[in-house]
Amino acid sequence: MIRPAGPRLTEQEAALALVSFLETRAYGEATYKQIWTYLGLPHVQFTREDRYVSRRGEPHWHTAVRNIAAHFDKPGNAVREGILVRRTRGGGGFQLASRSKS
């Protein structure tokens, strides 16, 4: 289980939690909707600030997950490092690179 070291889940912590979650999924993939629904316990223990709802009506931890896709070209990013693959079809999301055909 990932417990954020600081007041909010970081992008790197979100990637670790996402890998843990995707390892339990068929084909190692999930849409954003599935991630938003199932990423919590036992994969990550969100802080109070992570659960805070933004003006857009979503918890702050969604930003950390979305940043994995947004920062795909930055050093240390799970997509750039070949751990995760961004999915754009059927609701977007991620797949473990080790289970990806593309």
Per-residue DSSP letters for the chain?
A: -B--SSSS--HHHHHHHHHHHHTTSGGGEE-HHHHHHHSSTTTB---HHHH-B-TTSSBTHHHHHHHHHHTTTSTT-TTTTTSEEEE-STT-EEEEGGG---
Tokens representing 79 are 């997509």
Domains of the chain: 11-99 (1.10.10)
pTM above 0.75, yes or no: yes
Tokens representing 33 are 């909707």
Greater pLDDT, 89 or 25? 25
Residue 90 clears pLDDT 90, i.e. is over it: no
Digit-coded pLDDT (tens) for 43-62: 999 999 999 998 889 999 99
Digit-coded pLDDT (tens) for 56-85: 899 999 999 999 999 999 999 999 999 999
